[in-house]
């Protein structure tokens, strides 16, 4: 057991946890931020994607202890009064059905738009589909997810 402290959605938190605690369990069970989902627990589905120091990672495949001192953003932290443009775009384009994959899709969507912008590259449909390699959706067939990310990319 050790105290693991980090900044989550702008707020400093500290919890005493077992060393084996995964970041996703720290977020869901200790901080009670249950927007981050566990779909597979085998690093495949991306439902658990959060940002650690500004980069999308699978929080089921990282120890909480390894995020000690980090800046973490979860789905609860992206809206700033109004919905984030990525959230609004999923709403506008029917980018979700059951919604289970959506937090991870939105966190991955924001990450890819940020990266493409920083590198001055165009995030076209083919690029969005390739970037979504690590995010699985059992409902939508992806088409409206791609449309949502494309819309948000124009607005972010």
Distance CA 85, CA 155 (A): 7
Out of ligand FAD, ligand FES, other proteins, none, which partner does residue 112 contact, by CB within 5 to 8 A per kind? other proteins
The number of CA neighbours under 13 Å toward the Cβ of 88 is 13
Cβ–Cβ < 8 Å for 108, 56: yes
Near other proteins in 9-28, by CB under 8 A:
18-20, 22
What track of x and - describes contact with other proteins for positions 49 through 68 (by CB under 8 A)? x-----xxxx--xxx-xx-x
- Closer CB to ligand FAD, 19 or 155, in the complex: 19
- Closer CB to ligand FAD, 105 or 152, in the complex: 105
Site residue total, other proteins (CB under 8 A): 30
Distance CA 87, CA 28 (A): 21
- Closer CB to ligand FES, 36 or 150, in the complex: 36
What are residue 6's DSSP bridge partners? Answer: 13
- Residue 83 is classified by DSSP as P
Coil, strand or helix at 12: strand
- Binding stretches for ligand FES (CB under 6 A): 38-41, 43-48, 58, 60, 96-101, 137-140
């Amino acid at each position: 057991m050790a105290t693991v402290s980090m900044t989550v959605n702008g707020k400093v938190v500290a919890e005493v946890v077992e060393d084996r605690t995964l970041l996703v369990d720290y977020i869901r069970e200790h901080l009670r931020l249950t927007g981050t989902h566990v779909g597979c627990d085998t690093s495949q589905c991306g439902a658990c994607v959060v940002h650690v120091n500004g980069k999308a990672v699978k929080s089921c495949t990282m120890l909480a202890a390894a995020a000690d001192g980090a800046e973490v953003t979860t789905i609860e932290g992206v809206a700033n009064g109004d919905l984030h443009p990525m959230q609004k775009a999923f709403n506008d384009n029917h980018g979700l059905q059951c919604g289970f994959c959506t937090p991870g899709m939105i966190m991955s969507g924001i990450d890819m738009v940020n990266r493409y912008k920083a590198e001055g590259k165009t995030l076209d449909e083919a690029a969005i589909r390739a970037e979504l390699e690590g995010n699985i959706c059992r409902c939508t067939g992806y088409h409206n997810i791609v449309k949502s990310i494309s819309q948000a990319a124009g607005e972010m």
